[in-house]
Amino acid sequence: MGYLTLAGAIAAEVAATTAMKYADGFSRLWPSLLTAVGYIVSFVLLAETLKTVSIGTAYAIWSGVGTAAIAVLGLLLFGEGLSMVKVAGIVLIIGGVVVLNLGGAH
């Protein structure tokens, strides 16, 4: 159940960060509200996750998957460039999460 709430926390964080891009410096009401609500939901779900998943593992997955997802969405939705350096960074983030999980971060 912990990993299910973690997935929800990641989805909410990614939605909030994407909405922040559309909020245009918080000058647009609805994207700004979606940003605030998304982050609140994300933190509540992350806190719930921490009842059953270790903090190191949960935070590594939450931040790593969120960062990688936002990088991909930046490419797809906003036409941001994708360099080999960005690809390497995403691979390193995902690799770090895997290593933490394999290393028994409980």
Give pTM, 2 decimals: 0.88
| DSSP letter assigned to residue 28 | S
- Residue 7 CA, chain-centre distance (Å), reads 9
- For residue range 15-73, what is the model confidence (pLDDT) as tens digits? 999 999 999 999 999 999 999 999 999 999 999 999 999 898 899 899 989 998 999 99
Please measure the distance between the N-terminal and C-terminal CA atoms of the chain and give it in whole angstroms: 16
